[in-house]
A and B are shown apart, each in its own frame.
Chain A
């Protein structure tokens, strides 16, 4: 009898007596770092914020149409360098104040304020020039240049001016980050053990679920058991290993969640001996990704329709930016690795590689919640290095530390960090590889710096036509596959699981809860 069968039987014993009442609970891999949309750093942040705030424009998850719950009508102004918005009337903030054009312009100004140290705001500074209030419900957003499809550019969440007392320099650590006021379907409050969402009927929202709890999942097996037992009603990310359990249950549904995610091992290129490219290339050849994938994700070699596909660069293989002429390393090649290490001056003594007479030992870390998706991945990688003669110590990093220290380039005492990046429609990787300076490279984990890479990233930024942007990223892909600030692992599909009592639960690509008003819970 397989594990799946055991789970179902175990679930059957208690499913009938456990009920969560009207409140719906779901598991995320970790709690959101912040509910302030300007400081989202993880997908869980974005997903939670989608419940609390309205973005000016968004794409319908059903037919991809561009829609707005905040804007009643719009027109182009200033020869295509501006857009005049007429706002929907009657919308209130969760605190009861009316939503007005002042709020829209406050948000734009906050993003443009250099005192707002937000990478998301920084990304908008290239395109937004300002905002003018022309009446209580009329705002004109100005662009830095003529843009095609201006509404597409206005995908930011609108913030309440009143909550910041008009101060456009917004810092990440305000009370607002834990107990924000939005115009979205749910009012959110972050505690130490979860986030509570309460429905908030508004002029543009009529949520059907009164209360919802976001909780941090622990062991993925226990998470699936809790779902089957109806202790929780949804899991946002189900590890591939457990998807068969969900599929074989009559009470659960596996749901597609469109997210472009890829996994990596970032290398500290500032630390010897990893500052030597040949050593990094040797590590690349030491990894047997096929074995890693089989052990951690459960994908058999040659399996068709695998949720996990190897990559050789910083894009998912279906992306036009992926350089398909760069092959992925699927199997280890210890002979190549050995040759490279010797060339770099390493010595192998008693089966262990030494650098300057000392055995090489790498300090490896990984954000804790990734273990839910790829169980024991850190240990498997460590074992493969160990078998090839490189020692390592492994550490699981709490999610908050990952956000505040790893992404910000402060975990420099580590040699390797295992991580995952997720993307939506935009696959801009510049923040990952630009040399950290003057607002660039805000997600450059080990402060990697290479002039050729910077040049290619600048080419992408400056590209006036699509083919130039594509070509810049193809070259970047090839360059990174050679220079290896990251060991690129794989892209991994994301699937959610929800109990069947949760109805009409359309999942939006990337943002997830965009269609939340239609969700119902018949528990």
Chain B
């Protein structure tokens, strides 16, 4: 993470490097893990999970008393939480957490916009589509780390003029330079890029620039926006998270590792550990779970499961469901063990509290969701698509109420857009509009995709 200073203002920017295979780990060959030891999470780790720690009233009290945590954890109201954490006296750990989660959400919204753009205007392109879609496709292909970006952006700059072409030109230059340069220049050409990051700040996105394109046949308007605007917002919030922690970048880096875009390469696995403020109300149960997921998504890949099983509650929970040799994940096993993790955590909370309390269940449910999501990430790392899909469906079912994390749901929507499941992607994105300011930018290509797919589907009639 660097802050690039240019023309008298800070431009929050991430160091993006050409992604050369995000899962840098070598395939690990080995037999299936051992049989079920009887408990899902080893006893010592269960006691360190945040739900069980929170069963101690002294630890829980500061969280209960601060309205920022209620807004963030129980309502997933990020603007509300950020305002509460920024009220004097500010709580930097809370601010950093919200900024990091917003950075994750904007990344996933950018991914959603990119996937939808490529699906509708590259995969399903029609003669009526305006020439500017080359520009949007090219920008999206950069986000997706696709080499075809250069051809798309070249076509754009050859046939299109105006602001959208200027943006494309800047990104084409960046890509042609090996995508190793800092992002100051292309972001400067990205419309609506946010101002210098401020801790507690939420950039005004009420008037994000919109490109109005016109189809080639009837010249009807097609609203569009640059997906890079969302990437820039992600950069803003990541920078703000770092600033909130006094320049300490490792914590946001750990939190964000699973949510980074294909265009990003994490140069080295982030070190460091997470304090409870960064775990509370999240699917990360112990501090080491963040390192495990980072390693799983951007390090060793599937081999991380055995590497971390003694330190990470999530790795321990999913371990017996992962066959390293076959590079597969058993989704039924993972869902079953997630249910047992729920019971185990809830029981440990009850013992610690001396009885059942109202918050035990929702906290334990987050533990269950954490296990399912970790298994899903393991399946993704293994390239085991069907189990990954099944686990995602389970993840959706478990993301209810307080467990509905916007960045996770947006990541599912991005996957849906890639799969041309525009109905569910639209519904998921719609639910986040109003919660995460500005994510409606992703709606333009998704709407276009949905109209196109629905018009080319088997006929349907309304059903009662």
Please report A residues at the B interface, Cβ cutoff 8 Å.
40-43, 45-46, 57, 59, 61-65, 119-120, 123-124, 126-127, 147-149, 152-156, 247-248, 253-256, 258, 260, 304-305, 316-321, 367, 402-403, 407, 419-429, 431-432, 442-443, 463-471, 500, 503-504, 506, 509
Task: Please tell me if B366 contacts chain A, counting CB pairs below 8 Å.
Answer: no
Q: Contact between A466 and B464 (Cβ–Cβ < 8 Å)?
A: no
Find the residue from B218, B397, B430, B451 having the highest chain A CB count within 10 A.
B451
- How far apart are the CA atoms of A260 and B422 in the complex, in Å? 12
Q: Contact between A428 and B390 (Cβ–Cβ < 8 Å)?
A: no
21 contacts between A and B (CB under 8 A): A41-B463, A43-B464, A57-B458, A59-B421, A64-B419, A148-B126, A152-B458, A154-B458, A155-B458, A305-B431, A316-B427, A320-B446, A320-B448, A402-B464, A425-B454, A464-B128, A466-B448, A467-B218, A468-B218, A469-B455, A509-B421
A247/B457 contact (C-beta < 8 A), A62-B393, A367-B464, A466-B448 known: no
Please report B residues at the A interface, Cβ cutoff 8 Å.
75-77, 124, 126, 128, 215, 217-218, 220-222, 332, 339, 361, 385-386, 389-390, 393, 396-397, 400-401, 404, 416, 419-424, 426-427, 429-431, 435, 446-448, 450-464
A428/B128 contact (C-beta < 8 A), A63-B389, A153-B456, A304-B75 known: no
How far apart are B447's CB and chain A's nearest CB, in angstroms? Answer: 3
- By DSSP majority rule, is chain A's interface helix, strand, loop, or mixed? loop
- How far apart are the CA atoms of A41 and B128 in the complex, in Å? 36
- How far apart are the CA atoms of A65 and B77 in the complex, in Å? 34
Measured between beta carbons, the chain A residues less than 8 angstroms from B420 are 64
Q: Contact between B447 and A320 (Cβ–Cβ < 8 Å)?
A: yes
How far apart are A386's CB and chain B's nearest CB, in angstroms? Answer: 27
Measured between beta carbons, the chain B residues less than 8 angstroms from A124 are 458-459
A123/B461 contact (C-beta < 8 A), A63-B385, A464-B217, A467-B222 known: yes
A503 closest partner in B (C-beta): B332
Measured between beta carbons, the chain B residues less than 8 angstroms from A420 are 464
Find the residue from A62, A149, A260, A316 having the highest chain B CB count within 10 A.
A62
A427 closest partner in B (C-beta): B454
Measured between beta carbons, the chain B residues less than 8 angstroms from A419 are 464
Q: Contact between B431 and A509 (Cβ–Cβ < 8 Å)?
A: no
How far apart are B27's CB and chain A's nearest CB, in angstroms? Answer: 23
Q: Contact between A317 and B455 (Cβ–Cβ < 8 Å)?
A: no
- How far apart are the CA atoms of A413 and B424 in the complex, in Å? 39
Which of A40, A46, A248, A319 is in CB contact (< 8 Å) with B450?
A: A319
A154 closest partner in B (C-beta): B458
How far apart are A99's CB and chain B's nearest CB, in angstroms? Answer: 20
Measured between beta carbons, the chain B residues less than 8 angstroms from A424 are 423, 460
- How far apart are the CA atoms of A317 and B459 in the complex, in Å? 21
Find the residue from B222, B401, B459 having the highest chain A CB count within 10 A.
B459
- How far apart are the CA atoms of A63 and B389 in the complex, in Å? 6
A509/B463 contact (C-beta < 8 A), A247-B400, A320-B448 known: no
Which of A155, A256, A432, A468 is in CB contact (< 8 Å) with B462?
A: A432
Q: Contact between B361 and A443 (Cβ–Cβ < 8 Å)?
A: no
Q: Contact between B461 and A120 (Cβ–Cβ < 8 Å)?
A: yes
Measured between beta carbons, the chain A residues less than 8 angstroms from B460 are 123, 423-428
A318/B427 contact (C-beta < 8 A), A127-B459, A248-B361 known: yes
- How far apart are the CA atoms of A236 and B463 in the complex, in Å? 16
Which of A43, A147, A321, A425 is in CB contact (< 8 Å) with B423?
A: A425
A42 closest partner in B (C-beta): B464
Q: Which 7 A-B pairs have the closest CB atoms?
A: A155-B458, A426-B460, A318-B430, A320-B447, A123-B459, A62-B389, A467-B220
Q: Contact between B215 and A155 (Cβ–Cβ < 8 Å)?
A: no
Q: Contact between B463 and A466 (Cβ–Cβ < 8 Å)?
A: no
Measured between beta carbons, the chain B residues less than 8 angstroms from A156 are 458
Q: Contact between B464 and A260 (Cβ–Cβ < 8 Å)?
A: no
Measured between beta carbons, the chain B residues less than 8 angstroms from A464 are 128, 217
Measured between beta carbons, the chain A residues less than 8 angstroms from B400 are 247, 254
How far apart are B334's CB and chain A's nearest CB, in angstroms? Answer: 12
How far apart are A452's CB and chain B's nearest CB, in angstroms? Answer: 20
Measured between beta carbons, the chain A residues less than 8 angstroms from B456 are 147-149, 152-153
Measured between beta carbons, the chain A residues less than 8 angstroms from B431 are 305, 318
Measured between beta carbons, the chain B residues less than 8 angstroms from A61 are 393
- How far apart are the CA atoms of A99 and B427 in the complex, in Å? 39
How far apart are B254's CB and chain A's nearest CB, in angstroms? Answer: 28
- How far apart are the CA atoms of A216 and B361 in the complex, in Å? 32
A255/B462 contact (C-beta < 8 A), A64-B419, A466-B455 known: no
Measured between beta carbons, the chain A residues less than 8 angstroms from B421 are 59, 64, 509
How far apart are B400's CB and chain A's nearest CB, in angstroms? Answer: 7
- How far apart are the CA atoms of A423 and B457 in the complex, in Å? 13
Q: Contact between A40 and B463 (Cβ–Cβ < 8 Å)?
A: yes
- How far apart are the CA atoms of A152 and B456 in the complex, in Å? 7
- How far apart are the CA atoms of A155 and B447 in the complex, in Å? 23
How far apart are A310's CB and chain B's nearest CB, in angstroms? Answer: 13
Q: Contact between A467 and B419 (Cβ–Cβ < 8 Å)?
A: no
Q: Contact between B461 and A443 (Cβ–Cβ < 8 Å)?
A: yes
Q: Contact between B458 and A153 (Cβ–Cβ < 8 Å)?
A: yes
How far apart are A67's CB and chain B's nearest CB, in angstroms? Answer: 12
How far apart are A495's CB and chain B's nearest CB, in angstroms? Answer: 9
How far apart are B373's CB and chain A's nearest CB, in angstroms? Answer: 16
Q: Contact between B462 and A431 (Cβ–Cβ < 8 Å)?
A: yes
Which of A256, A318, A403, A463 is in CB contact (< 8 Å) with B429?
A: A318
Q: Contact between A423 and B390 (Cβ–Cβ < 8 Å)?
A: no
How far apart are B407's CB and chain A's nearest CB, in angstroms? Answer: 15
Q: Contact between A305 and B458 (Cβ–Cβ < 8 Å)?
A: no
Measured between beta carbons, the chain A residues less than 8 angstroms from B462 are 421-423, 428-429, 431-432, 443
- How far apart are the CA atoms of A65 and B416 in the complex, in Å? 11
How far apart are A468's CB and chain B's nearest CB, in angstroms? Answer: 6
Q: Contact between A421 and B451 (Cβ–Cβ < 8 Å)?
A: no
Q: Contact between A469 and B451 (Cβ–Cβ < 8 Å)?
A: yes
Find the residue from A305, A320, A407 having the highest chain B CB count within 10 A.
A320
